[in-house]
Amino acid sequence: MFPNHQAAKPWTGRRGASGYHNPMMRRVGCGILVLGLIHAACKPRPGPIEIGDNVVAIQNQTSSDWRNVVVTVNDHFRGGTPTLAAGSRMAAPLSQFQTAFGQRYDVSRQIVFRVEVTATDANGEPVKLELDKRK
């Protein structure tokens, strides 16, 4: 009857829910990715003094090395290191800090309320950091 018309070829492209929702899923995925990046970028930068899991961590966030680093916990317990390179981190267990009389910090009986860090930078200038949980 219609000799010039050919029979319709079956469509072989993707159909169904996945074909219909594919662009929407891409938009949702991109949105989640953007939200994740924004969340990571807005996270506050950690401070130079951190306390956690009975460990005191000191980070040199400056561009110069520190010498004669002394960390004092609760005004009495001391520890430290001869040098702390620029951008590096020092972590020490609280049980390693001791008084001038040799008494060690007892993590089962004490809490950290103050940490003071003193050092000298590469130019000979004094460095002083404090973390006081009472304030």
Domain containing 75 — which CATH number?
Answer: 2.60.40.2890
2 lies in some domain: no
The reply to whether 116 falls in a domain is yes
Tell me the C-alpha distance between 114 and 52, whole Å.
13
- Tell me, yes or no, whether 36 lies in a domain: yes
- Residue, of 3 and 72, whose pLDDT is higher: 72
**Same domain membership, residue 69 and residue 39:** no
My answer on whether 38 and 54 are in the same domain is no
| pLDDT value of position 90 | 95
Tell whether 71 and 122 lie within a shared domain: yes
What Å distances lie between residue 118 and 18, 60, 89, 105, CA to CA?
62, 12, 15, 19
Could you read off the pLDDT of 43-84 as tens digits, one per residue? 666 789 999 999 999 999 999 999 999 999 999 999 999 999
Residue 5 lies in a domain: no
Parent domain of 38: 12-43
Q: Answer yes or no: do 33 and 91 share one domain.
A: no
Place 35 in a pLDDT band, splitting at 50, 70 and 90: confident
Each residue of 101-135: b (16+ CB within 10 Å) or e? eeeebeeeeeebeebbbbbebeeeeebebebeeee
pLDDT tens profile 86-135 = 999 999 999 999 999 999 999 999 999 999 999 999 999 999 999 998 87
Percent of the chain scored above 70 by pLDDT?
77
Residues 67 and 122 in one domain: yes
Q: How many domains would you assign to the chain?
A: 2
108 in a structural domain: yes
